[in-house]
Amino acid sequence: MNHIKLGQTDMTTSVLGLGCMGMSGMYGPSDRAESIATIHAALEAGVTLLDTGDFYGSGHNELLIAEALKSAPPSRRDSAIISVKFGAMRDPDGGWSLYDARPASVKNFLAYSLQRLGVDHIDIYRPARLDPNVPIEDTVGAIADMVKAGHVRAAGLSEVGSDTIRRAAAVCPISDLQIEYSLISRNIEEDILPTCRALGISVTAYGVLSRGLISGHWQKAAAGAGDFRAISPRFQAENVDRNLALVEALRKVADRLGVTVAQLAIAWVAAQGNDIVPIIGARRRDRLTEALGALDVKLGEEDLMAISQAVPKGAAAGERYPAAQMARLDSEV
99 binds ligand NAP (CB under 6 A): no
The residue count of the chain comes to 333
56 an active-site residue? yes
Q: Which residue stretch of 71-79, 146-154, 239-247, 287-295 sits at the interface with ligand NAP (rule: CB under 6 A)?
A: 287-295
Q: Which residue stretch of 16-24, 73-81, 135-143, 317-325 sits at the interface with ligand NAP (rule: CB under 6 A)?
A: 16-24
Is 55:128 a contact under the CB 8 Å cutoff? Answer: yes
Between helix 237-257 and helix 301-310 the angle, nearest 10°, is 160
- How many residues touch ligand NAP (CB under 6 A)? 29
CB of 145 to ligand NAP, least distance (A): 23
Q: Which residue stretch of 15-23, 103-111, 142-150, 248-256 sits at the interface with ligand NAP (rule: CB under 6 A)?
A: 15-23
CB of 52 to ligand NAP, least distance (A): 6
Which one among 100, 131, 176, 290 touches ligand NAP, defined by CB under 6 A?
Answer: 290
Q: Render 14-32 in DSSP notation, one character per residue.
A: ESSEEE-GGGGTBBB---H
- Residue 258, classified by CB atoms within 10 Å of its CB into exposed (0-12), middle (13-18) or buried (19+), is exposed
Q: Render 241-268 in DSSP notation, one character per residue.
A: HHHHHHHHHHHHHHHHHTS-HHHHHHHH
Q: Which is nearer to ligand NAP, 206 or 235 (CB)?
A: 206
Within its chain, how far is the Cα of 301 from the centroid?
A: 27
211 binds ligand NAP (CB under 6 A): yes
Q: What are phi and psi of 209, to 5 degrees?
A: -100, 15
Within its chain, how far is the Cα of 177 from the centroid?
A: 10
Which one among 143, 262, 264, 307 touches ligand NAP, defined by CB under 6 A?
Answer: 262
CB of 301 to ligand NAP, least distance (A): 25
CB of 210 to ligand NAP, least distance (A): 6
Binding site for ligand NAP (CB under 6 A): 19-22, 27, 51, 85, 128, 158-159, 178, 206-212, 215, 217, 262, 279-283, 287, 290-291
